Structures are given as C-alpha cells and as structure tokens.
C-alpha cells in the first residue's frame, strides 16, 4: 500500500431517528486526485459532506474519518474548524452576499484587522493573489450581483480556498452552469489539481465525471456500492450502480401523434422593461402542435429565459411580433393573462418562482386553481384536497400526507408538486423551463414519462433545457436559440449534438 491516502473513511455510520443516512461507509480518497461521488438523492452524499464540514461533529456518528494521517475530530458547530484543517466546501446553492464586492466575500468572516479596523488593501491584494494563483478571471472589486453564475462560482471557490486548503469539496457545482461555464470550471479544477489540491466532486451530471475525475465512488441507500477508476466504467455502468437496476433507456419513448398547431410565435421581439433600448429578443418564431414536445436549446444568455418570461408576460416588453393560441392572438401582460389564455409554466427555479415552500403540498397544488373550488366566495376544502390527492397520486409524490410543508420534500418531489399544480389547471400549452434541473436519475425518468403521457393526451409541451441529450431524447422537434434569435426548428432525427451546438454558438447558420 504505497498509495498516499488523504481521507480514509472507516466504517462510518450515521443514523437519524427512523433512517440510516450512512451505513458502514468505508472508502479512501488519494492525495491530489479528483474523486467523483454520485448517487441518487438521499443516497447519503450530503451527509458525507456534512461530516467533513463539521455540521455533524465528531461523536455524532460511528466509525472514524482519518484525515492526513490523523483522526478528524471536529467539535460542535465547527464549520470554521474544518476550514482551518484545510477542508473547503463549495455548496450547490451559492452562499455569497450579492450586494458586496468579490474581495469582501472572499474574506467574509476572516477579515484582516488592525486596531479593530479592516485593512481593505490587504483584503483586495490577497484576493487578487488567490484569484491569480488559480487562474480565476474575476475582478476583486466587482460587486457580486453584477457577475454571471459562472463567475460567482469562481468567487465561491476562491472563498473556500484559504492558504492551506488541502481538500476542496464541490457539491453539485454545475447544476446552474451553462456548457461553457462548466468547461471553464473543469479547467479551474485541473489547475487546482496541479497545485496539489484534492477534489471531491459531487454531481448529477454523469458525463462530467468522465471529463474530469480520476476515480468515482457510487453511493446508494447510504452505502458505498463501488469505487473505481473512471476509465474502467461507462455511463450506463454508473447509472446501473446508482439505481440498482438495469436502466435500459434514459428517455422513455412515447407514442405521440402531433396534431394541429395550437401555439404560434411569429417574429417576437422584446426589450428589457427597465432599459427599453436593450433588446432581449430579436426575432423569435416557432410553433407547437397539439400533442407535441418542442425542445428549445440554447446557451445561457441566448434569450431562452427571456423568451419564457416574455411569453408569460412577466419580464420582457414585447415590442413586435405575434403570439397566438388556437389562432387567437394574445398579449399577455402578466402571468395572470397568460394562465387564463391557456398557458402554463413550470419555471426554471422551483424554489424561487415555482413553490411557496412554507405552505403545504395541497395548498401549493391548488394555488393557481382555486377558482375551480370556489362557491359563493368560499373555497370547498374537501374538493380542493380531493383534487390535490388525485394529482399527487398520479405523479407518485412521496410524502406522509399532503398537509406537510413543501420545504420538507426532496428536489424531485418538489418538482412533481410544481408540475401537479399546473396539470390541475389543465393547460393547452405547457412550458417547462429546465424541468429536470438538480433532480436524480430516477425522478428524471418519471418526469420524462409524465411528459410523454401529457403529450399523448394532447397537451402541447415546450421544453427548454440546458442538457442537449435531454432535448434530443425527449423532443419531436428542436428549436435552437442564439443571441436572442430563433435559428431554425429541426425535426429531432436531423438534430444531433454537434449540429445544435453549431447553431447555438452561431457557428452554423440555418
């Protein structure tokens, strides 16, 4: 055993009342490697991270974690202690203060002081040094708010890497990033590796493991299934290990027969309502048929988010062009208008715009549909509950009851609640903006099946996605957006990854 092991988990078990989150977990991480960890939601990945970060301190779990030759003994509420030990963590949700500068964020909580006053020059000089060392292209004086998600991630990394960082844990770092930003992140990770930093890389996007990791560990139900060099496995192997069964296809095939055009957008142009001169859409045209899934692909900043918010009347100021449902022109000026004309939206960010987390499941499902249950101003709570239950049942939402708060559910189940609420509104056109973002393989498959069912029932679905495979796997036709324009709509059998990327990056013109 001449391997240089930096982290050694020895029979780690972590129990919560009623559930064993980690069950006799043993595996090693070598110094300087990039080690991938994958598993479905609830497999125990986050618990593992929380043990390393000190959220679950030493003594609250069984077994031992040997870190750099010594047992890791973090005390209660010792997140700073973990940092001192050289374990740095970048969480999935960005933890930056958006209104402050990059430098202030990087040194938040560890500002250099002299007589109680912060030495700002030192803050910025050292921030610049850290950024330069790891080749992070960010201005230390920039206000975080003004940065893109990709750059914010770099700031997170810079913040996590103190002088003596040895291990960097990235918990689903790419769920909000575009393809180009992911590439940039991969480059950063390679730089870190050259500096001898060990990386633990947790992700739902399996292809990333093949781009970047040396070895990969698969977890399921709190146990380690296997740890293997990445070169020895395929994506299908990983999926099989994760779900514990053979997954023949990632995308279920529907049996669809698209009908007439129900929804049509023609030469749509829109401007930023705050800056009427800034065009966010510069001519978008497409149509969707009854019972069809139209995929919309495009990079971040291509206008695909703006397209959705403009159609939904919530952001873009439509200046030109026409939107028609069943041949009738509509001019949605608010979500309310859009919904009443038969449009529904499963938004990109379920926590921010999809759900009221502190309300119950049934109240979330019924929220846009209360009109269905009102008689003499008063809501029929029984009818409401019955309808919610039917939705929850047909989407197999897993919860002890529909009275539990949505915030207690897993990501996949939360997404099902969002979809339920829009199914209950019986939309003619359903827009789904990144419907499977941040949810595990099993839940993804269920959502794909559901989309097929809906399309078969005659709903026209517009699916926006950053995952090209998903677009190709699920759509009947694919529309590609580039710099605020719609390029062309391809039948799915003419759309392959290369062609879509070429159109999205403006290399090819339709």
Partner 1 sequence: MKISTPANIQTESIWSKFLQSVRHNIQSYILLVAVAVIWGIFFFLTNGRYLDPQNISNLFRQMSVTSFMSIGMVLVIVTGGIDLSVGKLAGFVSVVVAYLQFYVWFDLFPGQVVLPAILSVICGLLVGLLAGVVQGYIIAYLGLPAFIVTLGGMWLFNGLLLLVTQGKTIAANQPVFSDIGQGYVPPIWGWVIFGLIVVALIWNVFNSRRNKVKYGFTPRPLYLDLTSVGAILVLIFAYVLSVNNYKGIPVPVMLLAIVAVVIAYAANNTRFGRYAYAIGGNREAARFSGISVSSLVFRVFILMGGLCGVAGVVLASYVGYGTIAAGTGYELDAIAACILGGTSPLGGVGTIPGALIGALIIASLTTGLQMLNVQPAWQYVVKAIILVTAVYIDVYFKKHR
Site mask, partner 1, residues 160-189, x = CB under 8 A? Answer: ------------------------------
CB closer to partner 1, 105 vs 309: 309
* Residue 352 binds partner 1, judged by CB under 8 A: yes
Q: Is 357 in the site for partner 1 (CB under 8 A)?
A: yes
Distance between CA 410 and CA 415 in Å, rounded? 9
Site membership for partner 1, residue 438 (CB under 8 A): no
- The 10 Å Cβ neighbour count of residue 263 is 24
Burial category of 146 from C-beta neighbours within 10 Å (exposed 0-12, middle 13-18, buried 19 and up) = exposed
Residues 6+ apart with CB under 8 A from 470: 251, 295, 436, 463
- Find the binder of partner 1 among 119, 243, 367, 508 (CB under 8 A): 367
User: 180 vs 381, which CB is nearer to partner 1?
Assistant: 381
Tokens of 386: 């019955």
By C-alpha distance, which of 13, 63, 355, 302 is closest to 179? 302
Q: Return the range that interacts with partner 1 (CB under 8 A); candidates 59-67, 148-156, 206-214, 348-356.
A: 348-356
* Residue number, 76 or 194, with CB nearest to partner 1: 76
Element of type H or E holding 88: strand 87-90
Q: Does residue 404 belong to the site contacting partner 1 (CB under 8 A)?
A: no
The radius of gyration of the chain's CA atoms, rounded to the nearest angstrom, is 24
Give the helix ranges, DSSP H, for 367-496: 381-394, 411-424, 441-456, 468-474
Told to check if 300 binds partner 1 by CB under 8 A, we report: no
Residue 290's Cα: distance from chain center in Å? 29
Candidate segments 65-73, 79-87, 249-257, 381-389, binder of partner 1 by CB under 8 A: 381-389
Of 1, 117, 358, 509, which one interacts with partner 1 (CB under 8 A)? 358
Compute how many other C-beta atoms are within 10 angstroms of the C-beta atom of residue 62.
Answer: 12
- Smallest separation, CB 509 to partner 1 (Å): 35
Binding mask 318-337 for partner 1 (x = CB under 8 A): ----------------xxx-
For partner 1, the closer CB: 93 or 494: 93
Q: List the Cα angle 453/411/311 in 5-degree steps.
A: 60
Contacts to partner 1 by CB under 8 A = 312, 314, 334-336, 338-340, 345, 347, 352-359, 363, 367-368, 370-371, 374, 377-379, 381-383, 385-386, 421
């Amino acid at each position: 055993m001449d391997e240089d092991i930096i982290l050694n988990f020895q029979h780690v078990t972590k129990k919560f009342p009623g559930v064993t989150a980690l069950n006799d977990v043993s595996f090693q991480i070598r110094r300087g490697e990039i080690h991938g960890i994958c598993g479905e939601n609830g497999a125990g990945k986050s618990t593992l991270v929380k043990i390393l970060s000190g959220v679950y301190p030493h003594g609250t779990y069984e077994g031992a974690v040997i870190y750099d030759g010594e047992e890791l003994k973090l005390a209660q509420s010792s997140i700073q202690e973990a940092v001192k030990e050289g374990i740095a963590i970048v969480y999935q949700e960005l933890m930056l203060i958006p209104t402050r500068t990059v430098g202030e964020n990087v040194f938040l909580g560890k500002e250099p002081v002299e007589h109680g006053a912060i030495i700002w020059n030192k803050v910025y000089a050292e921030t610049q040094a850290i950024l330069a060392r790891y080749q992070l292209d960010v201005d230390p004086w920039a206000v975080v708010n003004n940065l893109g998600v990709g750059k914010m991630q770099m700031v997170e990394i810079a913040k996590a890497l103190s002088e003596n960082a040895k291990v960097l844990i990235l918990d689903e770092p790419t769920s909000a990033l575009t393809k180009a930003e992911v590439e940039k992140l991969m480059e950063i990770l390679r730089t870190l590796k050259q500096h001898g930093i060990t990386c633990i890389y947790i992700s739902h996007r399996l292809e990333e493991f093949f781009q970047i990791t040396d070895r990969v560990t698969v977890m399921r139900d709190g146990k380690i299934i296997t740890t293997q060099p990445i070169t020895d496995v395929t994506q299908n192997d990983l999926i099989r290990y994760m779900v514990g069964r053979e997954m023949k296809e990632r995308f279920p095939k529907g049996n669809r027969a698209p009908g007439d055009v129900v929804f049509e957008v023609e030469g749509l142009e829109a401007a930023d309502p705050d800056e009427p001169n800034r065009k966010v859409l510069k001519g978008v045209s497409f149509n969707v048929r009854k019972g069809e899934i139209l995929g919309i692909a495009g990079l971040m900043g291509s206008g695909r988010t703006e397209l959705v918010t403009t159609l939904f009347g919530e952001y873009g100021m439509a200046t030109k062009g026409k939107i028609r449902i069943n041949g009738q022109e509509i001019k949605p000026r608010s979500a309310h208008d859009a919904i009443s004309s038969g449009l529904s939206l499963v938004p990109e960010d379920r926590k921010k715009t999809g759900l009221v987390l502190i309300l119950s499941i049934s109240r979330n499902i019924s929220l846009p549909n209360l009109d269905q249950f009102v008689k003499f101003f008063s809501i029929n709570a029984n009818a409401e509950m019955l309808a919610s239950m039917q939705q929850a049942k047909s989407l197999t939402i897993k919860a002890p009851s529909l009275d539990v708060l949505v915030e207690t559910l897993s990501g996949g189940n939360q997404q099902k609640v969002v979809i339920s609420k829009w199914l209950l509104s019986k939309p003619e056109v359903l827009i789904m903006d990144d419907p499977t973002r941040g949810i595990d393989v099993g839940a993804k498959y269920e959502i794909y099946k559901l989309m097929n069912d809906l399309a078969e029932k005659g709903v026209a679905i517009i699916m926006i996605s950053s995952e090209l495979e998903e677009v190709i796997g699920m759509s009947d036709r694919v529309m590609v957006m580039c710099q605020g324009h719609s390029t062309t709509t391809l039948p799915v059998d003419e759309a392959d990854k290369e062609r879509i990327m070429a159109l999205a990056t403006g290399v090819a013109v339709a």
